[in-house]
């Protein structure tokens, strides 16, 4: 367990209660149907949890990074699909936090304070791990940009009010020619394409976005032309720990269910034999270690210190841990695990290793940090990473 | 002992592969969506002698041995793990009766099992505390006609489509594990009902359900083996299950690594096929290696079976190995395919869901370690 | 009860052969053997006839010593007996040589009522063996057979040589080559696979056939097989106007010689 302030503990308790009431009872149903969960936005509206990262000046909760992680872990514990809805919405607004003017922040944050959600639109069929290889274009025409192209695997797409879309303002410049834009739902020419059916996080809405001659005000450009990838990378640094949080919730849930089940199977003895006891102990160690790496990363961010490598590390570590532990839980619970909600945990866990930068991309980021020449102590203090 | 296959075993594997391509490939996606039991395919399996593979010739079996069994299972599983499950669970019932059956029982039941006109099931697990650890929920009490069975068996594969079940029951609650006995029960037995089908994560098409025994009366002749043989029967038959399911796991893994390798050659990112990236190569190499080693391990166990030698330790070893590395075969191949690997419009998610069902550790979940350690430390 | 002979070839599985991009040479090091595709249809057809009418099926092949690998595979598919000649000289043999060897072997047996072949082999597809065999044995030859029935000594066959269909009948022994559409070869059951080991197979030594060195020397010599790689032209028509793209595409195709 981490050392939380009284206020954080209160927020954690509220999140846990919310999840127990509004998420856990319905997770299975939405997983089976694969339908999105608009009811959850209604249930969360009053708490403004979808605006948990929005600054107070704009009506949000302005939770610290650590507090956000605690909330997301609770949501991941209840349902990683529904947790993804929240995490992806926060991801979208992180771009605006990084590069938006006050007017843009107002434009983007107000819907979230109202309980609506957003989407981050970077990925394209030709731009998965090669995120800078997108082909969508944004041509400046007068005081507008005209967008053409498509995005795929965009979370929340079918239900978001606001989007951050990345497109080429200068195709000849390749990655350095990408810019970021705010796009609002319902803009003419902007439509939702196919809905993906997924192995897990099935109630999370994953769609194609289609842009055909979509006119947006030039004022919707975030930062300057050509700064798109820089904004995207900073956004992902901020957002990756959210996946770690969801992963932790998944892993913790798997362990708790496993313990419950084994205790039921061995009622006459105090506990199962050492082999199984130690498997549980190992799961506990891995979860706690992952939690501490996540919380350390969040503390770094809250303290204004560099945390890019830690961000990649915690995303990788927590998601790998979640995959391992949910897999083991299904196994240890045998046919019960295979025919119950436990199987959903394993299906949900798999995406954590893939989205918001595959764990292979994360390892590239981390290995660069590992292999970089040693820096003198001064530079470290100044935050040179 | 050679772990290389004989020519026959290779040909049997090849026949199974050809059969799978012709009969299984066309139905796998739909069967996964609907969960419908593939009756026509099972009939074709029977016609090709897959259901009597290791049964003796005098009962209509092919007498092809257990290495042939695992070769067939792997090759069937490469197309459909669900169909492989049907064959495996049928084989468990057939094995138990051939191994422990009295001459009359073998004559009565094996020909239909070999011909596939009767499908078999093996009912051993329960919802509550484990047989041997606590009181078994299924009780068998002596009555004038023979035996009366009362209680429930859980997660029985082939439930509802099988014509007979080999059922593990407790004849004396006070005597713990020593009181387990096995019975041959006809699916038509009065008082026997099949519960609702379980919603499985994968392997859809192989039905899984509870069997409810409401005072099912069996003749004395339904007892399989001796009154105290139940534990030995279930232990050895589940050891065969470990070997057969390992072949299933390897088949799924093989299909996955081939699909992921083909995908990696065509998916271009960073200006090159991702197959040229060491990150991808490492993932695929590890999967291929684990698959290969598991295959060899299970083949050794199958060869011991063919030679009539004890095989349970080797079976436990491959079970334990795959408990650690089985699902990893799909965790890593899905990873190679990234977002596409997570989309149910592609085949790997089905394989991911299937493979998790082949490495389950039923209670007691520490049985592989116990078995291996007991042999080492005897 | 007809006595049928099927001639088959054991070939490399072309799916296992890789083309080296540098010089288009073939890498067959990982290629496994298989029964040539149309020969499978011939074996199946013979088996079907005998299943219906009784009789026997012999299988015969001339190839390198690797042909030994084919024995159980072939016998699991219906033939009662397998005769094979395995000699390294087969590697260089042309269609005339192969036909002479097969004819010599056939003459050593009691006469067959029907000799079946595939229309051509999966590797070379010369389509010459059936006709040459028929000429050497002085038998009628029916090629491109898509359907056939055998009643007593009369064979009725539907030929599909290309753009027409003809019905032919022949009485007495004949050499017939079949197309793949004639049947769908069944997958051997496991008992059939295991039963193959119990069926007789006989190796015939090449030098026991009484052929001169000249008979065994090919007149047509294969120099070097090369692979064929179809490369994409990688031309993209990217005008904003669809009609302009189509016009450009048509012009490009015409320049390539398509009309």
- The mean pLDDT of chain B is 95
**According to the model, what pLDDT value does residue B130 have?**
61
Which residues in chain C are closer than 8 Å to B49, comparing Cβ atoms?
189-191
Is the same domain home to B221 and B352? no
Q: Give residue for tokens 């999105």.
A: A36
- For chain C, the domains span 3-208
- The hierarchical CATH code for the domain A119-227 is 2.40.110.10
Residues of chain C positioned with their CB less than 8 A from the CB of B63: 194
In chain A, what are the domain boundaries? 6-117, 119-227, 229-372
Return the pLDDT at C176.
97
* A356 has a chain B CB within 8 A of its CB: no
Domain stop point among B80, B95, B119: B119
Is residue A353 within 8 angstroms of chain B, CB to CB? yes
* Higher-scoring residue by pLDDT: C218, A381: C218
pLDDT mean for each 10 residues of chain A (385 residues): 88 98 98 96 96 97 97 98 97 96 97 96 94 95 97 97 97 95 97 96 97 98 97 94 98 96 75 88 98 97 95 98 97 94 97 96 93 55 36
Q: Chain B contact for A270, CB < 8 A?
A: no
Tell me, yes or no, if B25 comes closer than 8 A to chain C by beta carbon: no
Question: Domain holding B144: CATH number?
Answer: 2.40.110.10
CA B256 to chain centre: 19
Do B145 and B200 share a domain, yes or no? yes
Closest approach of B335 to chain A, Cα-based (Å): 7
Domain carrying residue B183: 121-229
d(Cα B169, Cα B148) in Å, to the nearest integer?
A: 10
Pick the CATH number of A229-372 from 1.20.140.10, 1.20.1270.10, 1.20.210.10, 3.90.870.10: 1.20.140.10
Task: Tell me what pLDDT residue A384 has.
Answer: 36
Looking at the domain assignment, is residue B2 inside a domain? no
Asked whether residue B111 falls in the same domain as residue B159, the answer is: no
% of chain A surpassing 70 pLDDT: 95
* CB pair distance less than 8 Å for B366 and A353: no
| A324 → chain B, closest CA residue | B328
Lowest average pLDDT, out of A131-140, C47-56, C213-222, goes to C213-222
Q: What number is the average pLDDT over the span B371-378?
A: 94
CA distance B309 to chain A (A): 28
- How confident is the prediction for chain A on average, in pLDDT? 94
Q: What is the pLDDT of residue A380?
A: 34
Of B101, B119, B137, the last residue of a domain is B119
Residue B176 per-residue DSSP state: G
Question: Is the pLDDT confidence value at B131 over 80?
Answer: no
Same fold, A119-227 and A229-372: no
Q: What is the mean pLDDT of residues B326-341?
A: 97
If asked whether residues B150 and B286 sit together in one domain, one would say no
Q: Report the pLDDT value the prediction gives residue B339, as an integer from 0 to 100.
A: 94
Nearest chain B alpha carbon to A355: B339
Give the neighbours of chain A: at least 3 Cβ pairs within 8 Å: B
Mean pLDDT, rounded, for B206-216: 97
* Angstrom distances, CA of residue B269 to CA of A174, A177, B276: 14, 18, 10
What the block records as the tokens of A278 is: 């130690």
Q: Hey, are the CB atoms on B18 and C196 less than 8 Å from each other?
A: no
pLDDT over threshold 60, residue B355: yes
In this complex, the residue of B338, B352, B356 whose CB is nearest that of residue A358 is B338
What's residue B364's pLDDT? 81
Predicted local distance difference test score (pLDDT) of residue A379: 34
- The single residue listed with the structure tokens 């990345």 is A166
Taking only the tens place, the pLDDT of each residue in A9-28 is 999 999 999 999 999 999 99
Complex ipTM value? 0.94
Q: Which chains touch B (3 or more CB pairs under 8 A)?
A: A, C
Query: Is B58 in the same domain as B23?
Result: yes
**Disruptive mutation site among C186, C193, C195 for chain B (greatest number of B CBs within 10 Å):** C193
List the one residue out of B356, B128, B324, B316 whose CA is nearest residue A279: B324
Contact of A331 with chain B, judged by CB distance below 8 Å, is answered with yes
Q: Report the share of chain C in percent with pLDDT over 70.
A: 100
Q: Is the pTM of this model over 0.90?
A: yes
* B223 and B253 part of one domain: no
Alpha carbon distance, N-terminus to C-terminus of chain B: 24
In whole angstroms, how far apart are CA B315 and each of A298, B64, B295?
A: 46, 20, 12
pLDDT (tens digit, 9 = 90+) per residue, B27-60?
999 999 999 999 999 999 999 999 999 999 999 9
What domain count does chain B have? 3
pLDDT digits (tens, 9 = 90+) for B288-303: 999 999 999 999 999 9
Q: Residue B327 and residue A153: Cβ atoms within 8 Å?
A: no
Those residues whose C-beta lies under 8 Å from the C-beta of residue C118, and which sit 6 or more positions away, are C8, C9, C36, C37, C38, C39, C40, C41, C42, C177, C178
Q: What is the pLDDT of residue B176?
A: 67
Taking the C-alpha atoms of residue B97 and residue B101, their distance in angstroms, rounded to an integer, is: 5
Shortest Cα–Cα distance, A341 to chain B (Å):
9
Same-domain check for residues B342 and B257: yes
Task: Please list the residues that pair with B268 across neighbouring strands.
Answer: B273
Tell me the chain C residues in contact with residue B15 when contact means C-beta distances shorter than 8 Å.
76, 187-190, 193
Question: What is the distance between the alpha carbons of residues A144 and B12, in angstroms, rounded to a whole number?
Answer: 68
Same-domain status, B105 and B189:
no
Q: Counting one residue from B and one from C, how many pairs have CB atoms under 8 Å apart?
A: 45
State the DSSP H helix or E strand holding residue A266, giving kind and residue range, or none if neither: none
Q: Which residue is catalytic, options B63, B258, B286, B362?
A: B362
pLDDT, residue B133, reads: 47
Chains that touch C (3 or more CB pairs under 8 A): B
Mean pLDDT of C80-95: 94
- pLDDT tens by residue, B161-179: 999 999 999 998 777 667 8
Please state whether A240 falls in left (phi above 0), alpha (psi between -120 and 50) or beta: alpha
Q: Using alpha carbons, select from B153, B213, B326, B362 the residue that is nearest to residue A336.
A: B362
**CA–CA distance, B104 with B95 (Å, rounded to integer):** 16
What's the pLDDT score for residue B128?
A: 76
pLDDT at A381: 35
Q: Do chains C and A touch (3 or more CB pairs under 8 A)?
A: no
The residue among B318, B305, B314 whose CA lies nearest residue B99 is B305
**Per-residue pLDDT reduced to its tens digit, B253-282:** 999 999 999 999 999 999 999 999 999 999
Determine the distance in angstroms separating the CA of B4 from the nearest CA of chain C, rounded to an integer: 16
Which residues are within 8 A (CB) of C95 and not within 5 positions of it... i.e. 6 or more apart? C124, C126, C128, C129, C132, C220
Q: What span, in angstroms and rounded, lies between the C-alpha atoms of B318 and B298?
A: 6
Q: Does domain C3-208 have CATH number 3.40.1080.10?
A: no
As a whole number, mean pLDDT of residues B193-216 equals 98
What pLDDT is recorded for position B297? 97
Superfamily of domain A6-117: Acyl-CoA dehydrogenase/oxidase, N-terminal domain (1.10.540.10)
Q: Is the pLDDT of residue C22 over 60?
A: yes
């Amino acid at each position: 367990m981490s050392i939380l302030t009284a206020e954080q503990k209160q927020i954690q308790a509220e999140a846990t209660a919310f999840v127990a009431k509004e998420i856990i009872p319905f997770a299975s149903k939405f997983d089976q149907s694969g339908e999105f969960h608009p009811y959850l936005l209604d249930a969360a509206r009053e708490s403004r949890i979808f605006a948990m990262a929005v600054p107070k000046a704009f009506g949000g909760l302005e939770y610290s990074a650590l507090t956000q992680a605690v909330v997301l872990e609770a949501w991941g514990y209840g349902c990683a699909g529904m947790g993804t809805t929240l995490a992806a919405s926060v991801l979208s607004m992180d771009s605006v936090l990084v590069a938006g003017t006050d007017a843009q922040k107002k434009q983007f944050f107000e819907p979230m304070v109202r309980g609506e959600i957003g989407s981050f639109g970077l990925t394209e069929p030709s731009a998965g791990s090669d995120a800078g290889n997108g082909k969508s274009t944004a041509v400046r025409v007068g005081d507008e940009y005209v967008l053409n192209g498509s995005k795929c695997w965009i979370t929340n797409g079918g239900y978001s009010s606001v989007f951050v879309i990345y497109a080429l303002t200068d195709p000849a410049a390749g990655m350095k020619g990408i810019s970021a834009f705010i796009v609002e739902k319902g803009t003419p020419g902007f439509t939702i394409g196919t809905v993906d059916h997924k192995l897990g996080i099935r109630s999370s809405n994953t769609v194609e976005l289609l842009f055909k001659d979509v006119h947006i005000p030039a004022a919707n450009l975030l930062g300057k032309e050509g700064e798109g990838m820089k904004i995207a990378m900073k956004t992902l640094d901020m957002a990756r720990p959210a996946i770690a949080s969801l992963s932790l919730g998944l892993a913790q849930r798997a362990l708790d269910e496993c313990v419950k089940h084994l205790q039921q199977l061995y009622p006459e003895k105090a506990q199962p034999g050492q082999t199984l006891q130690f498997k549980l102990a190992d799961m506990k160690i891995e979860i706690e270690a992952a939690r501490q790496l996540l919380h350390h990363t969040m503390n770094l961010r809250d303290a204004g210190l560099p945390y890019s490598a830690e961000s990649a590390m915690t995303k990788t570590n927590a998601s790998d841990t979640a995959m391992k532990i949910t897999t083991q839980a299904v196994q240890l619970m045998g046919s019960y695990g295979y025919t119950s909600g436990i199987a959903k945990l394993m299906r949900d866990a798999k995406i954590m290793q893939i989205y918001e930068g595959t764990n292979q991309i994360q390892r590239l980021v981390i290995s660069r940090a590992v292999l970089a020449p040693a820096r003198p102590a001064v530079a470290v203090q100044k935050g040179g990473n | 002992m050679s772990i290389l296959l004989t020519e026959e075993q290779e040909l049997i594997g090849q026949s199974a592969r050809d059969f799978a391509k012709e009969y299984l490939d066309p139905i796998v996606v739909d069967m996964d969506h609907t969960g419908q039991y593939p009756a026509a395919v099972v009939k074709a399996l029977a016609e090709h002698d897959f259901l009597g593979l290791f049964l003796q010739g005098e009962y209509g079996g092919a007498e092809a041995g257990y290495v042939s069994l695992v070769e067939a299972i792997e090759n069937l599983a490469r197309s459909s793990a669900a169909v492989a499950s049907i064959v495996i669970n049928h084989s468990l019932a057939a094995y138990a009766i051939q191994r422990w059956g009295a001459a009359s029982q073998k004559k009565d039941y094996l020909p239909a099992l070999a011909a596939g006109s009767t499908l078999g099931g093996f009912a051993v697990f329960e919802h509550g505390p484990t047989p041997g650890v606590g009181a078994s929920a299924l009780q068998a009490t002596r009555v004038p006609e023979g035996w009366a069975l009362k209680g429930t068996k859980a997660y029985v594969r082939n439930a509802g489509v099988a014509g007979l079940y080999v059922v593990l029951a407790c004849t004396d609650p006070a005597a713990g594990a020593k009181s387990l006995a096995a019975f041959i029960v006809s699916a038509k037995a009065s008082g026997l009902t099949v519960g609702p089908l379980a919603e499985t994560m994968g392997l859809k098409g192989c039905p899984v359900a509870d069997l409810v025994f409401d005072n099912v009366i069996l003749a004395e002749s339904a007892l399989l083996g001796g009154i105290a043989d139940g534990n030995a029967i279930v232990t050895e038959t589940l050891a065969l299950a470990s070997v057969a399911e390992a072949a299933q796991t390897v088949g799924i893994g093989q299909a996955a690594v081939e699909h992921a390798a083909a995908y990696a050659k065509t998916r271009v990112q960073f200006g090159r096929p991702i197959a040229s990236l060491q990150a991808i190569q490492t993932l695929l190499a590890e999967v291929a290696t684990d698959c290969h080693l598991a295959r060899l391990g299970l083949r050794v166990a199958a060869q011991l079976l063919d030679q009539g030698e004890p095989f349970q330790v080797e079976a436990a070893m491959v079970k334990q190995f795959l408990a650690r590395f089985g699902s990893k075969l799909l965790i890593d191949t899905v990873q190679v395919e990234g977002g596409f690997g997570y989309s149910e419009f592609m085949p790997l998610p089905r394989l991911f869901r299937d493979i998790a069902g082949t490495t389950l550790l039923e209670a007691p979940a520490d049985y592989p370690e116990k078995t291996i350690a007991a042999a080492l430390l005897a | 009860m007809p006595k049928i002979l099927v001639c088959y070839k054991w070939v490399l599985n072309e799916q296992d052969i890789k083309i080296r991009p540098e010089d288009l040479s073939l890498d067959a090091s990982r290629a496994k053997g298989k029964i040539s595709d149309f020969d499978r249809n011939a074996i199946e057809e013979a088996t079907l006839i005998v299943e219906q009418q009784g009789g026997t099926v012999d299988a015969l092949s001339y190839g390198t010593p690797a042909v030994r690998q084919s024995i159980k595979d072939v016998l699991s598919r219906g033939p009662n007996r397998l005769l094979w000649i395995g000699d390294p000289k087969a590697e260089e043999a042309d269609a005339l040589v192969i036909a002479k060897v097969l004819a010599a072997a056939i003459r050593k047996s009691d006469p067959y009522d029907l000799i079946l072949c595939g229309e051509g082999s999966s590797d070379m597809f010369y389509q010459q063996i059936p006709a040459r065999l028929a000429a050497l044995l002085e038998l009628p030859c029916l090629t491109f057979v898509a359907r056939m029935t055998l009643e007593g000594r009369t064979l009725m066959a539907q030929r599909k040589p290309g753009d027409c269909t003809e019905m032919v009948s022949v009485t007495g022994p004949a050499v017939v080559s079949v197309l793949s559409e004639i049947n769908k070869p069944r997958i051997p059951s496991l008992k059939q696979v295991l039963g193959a080991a119990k069926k007789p197979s006989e190796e015939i030594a090449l030098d026991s056939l009484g052929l001169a060195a000249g008979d065994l020397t090919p007149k047509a010599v294969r120099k070097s097989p090369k692979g064929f790689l179809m490369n994409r032209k990688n031309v993209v028509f990217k005008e904003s106007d669809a009609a302009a793209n189509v016009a450009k595409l048509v012009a490009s195709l015409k320049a390539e010689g398509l009309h």
